[in-house]
Amino acid sequence: MDAHKSYSEDPRLPCHYGRKCYQKNPNHHIKYKHPPDPKRKNQYRNNNDDVKRRKMDLTTIDNKKINETELEHELNNIPIEAEPSDVSTQLKVFSNDVSDSDSETESTNPNPINIHSDQKSPTNSSLENGNYFRTKSKEDTTCNHINGHNTEFSKVYIKSKFLFEMPEDFYKFFELCERLNADNPSDALISIGLKLVGPFDVLNGKFCGVDKNSDDYLIHWRYYYDPPNLQTILKGDDKTGYHIGYFRDNPDDKPVFLVENYGMKDGILTPIGENIFGAISSYIEDRKKTCDPFSKMKFNKIQNIIKEEADKLSFDLSRKTKKMTKRNDKVLSRTFNKVGLVVPYERKTQLGYRKLAMSDKELGELLTKIDKAKPEEKSKFLAELQSEILTWTDIACDECDFGTGIELGWDILCHGVDLSHTTSRLLASNFRQLKWEAFAKISEAHMANRKKSCRLSII
């Protein structure tokens, strides 16, 4: 049988990658056909068993249409609600499941909790029944220095509001800052241009009397280019938007390292240490190269204190530790932000991630065209984005390659073009397929209130 004739009569959809397709996922080959290889004879031989194996429900193909309304939403600033695909049977290959108990909802009970000096370690229910820090009195000293009076509660409160558990070095570092500046630990590093922010504000008692919506906490000190994986804990000058934060690959795991970013410049994330002591040490080393002699004395003073405390607590001050280097083996794509994408991936079946249908250079150029286009030209470039990459990314998600959607969402976020609804949909829907609800919620909250400024505190 003529191979080319058989190919044209094959009812399956043609694969976008053609002969260059590397996919071994059986589901991919069931849905898509590939051009015959001239070197292989009888590739499309009339084999009834093979035809039955490859046959799929054609009505499903016919009903799968390009989401043309998404372009209209981006132009008209109308939110889009994503519909998750049915992939329950294939999610078993992933081991990063999150239990339903991790999702906490706030109660509307208006009655604040009465705090006593003999308060025991709180439970999640104590948070649900009211705002622990809603009232403040002279007798109540918990608001002023939470870490010294109720460390366990501050941990539960941070997890409840920011959706992340902070690592040990976070709390140890705050104890050091309390010794350096007892009146205001957040300003302990002000001499070297850094200020403690984000979850540190809880430990410093700044949320005492604050009553915000749950989404507000998720954007507290979240900069314009920050992916949901990043939690800012230190800020620098407002001119550059410099900040440092913990970076996680999985919201339920400990941070893999800390990164720095210039939030008023671009979305590049640079790893600078496995723990906060190492990150600040790296920051100081970089600043000492260009600072004046007087400033260098200040940097040396803080650096010596950091080193002494880190040695005592056995924290590695290296800019790049063995653990950080080992992560490189798991990176599936470099991504625009340069930090690299790590998601659950089955190498044998190549399930979990596939390359974007467009090169980084082509994608960057297209996003720039959309960003700089005149209103009458924008729809043209948005249509190109839809047909050339968004549709194929949605297909990848349908076939459980969730990393592809996360990569595209990251890239659009890092580029800076205002495609908030598309970015939110890509990130939130794919994070939810991986059961990473914390990242999904942060994505939605950030894209709904994204600011390119340094006035990012909700307090």
Catalytic residue set: 399
Give CA–CA dist 262/283, Å, rounded: 13
Q: How far is CA 70 from CA 207, 271, 307, in A?
A: 38, 35, 52
Q: Which residues pair with 243 in a beta bridge?
A: 235, 261
For the chain, what is the largest distance between any 2 Cα atoms, rounded to a whole number of angstroms?
Answer: 90
Phi-psi category of 241—alpha, beta or left, where left has phi over 0 and alpha has psi -120 to 50?
left
Give CA–CA dist 87/96, Å, rounded: 15
Give CA–CA dist 137/126, Å, rounded: 19
CB contact at 8 A, 428 and 404: no
Phi-psi category of 54—alpha, beta or left, where left has phi over 0 and alpha has psi -120 to 50?
alpha
SS3 of 324-343? HHHHHHHCCECCCCCCCECC
Beta strand pairing call for 195-196 and 230-235: antiparallel
The C-alpha torsion from 386 through 90 and 425 to 384, rounded to 10°, is -10
Amino acid identity of 275?
A: N
SS3 of 116-182? CCCCCCCCHHHHHCCCCCCCCCCCCCCCCCHHHHCHHHHHHHHHHHHCCCCCHHHHHHHHHHHHHCC
CB contact at 8 A, 126 and 132: yes
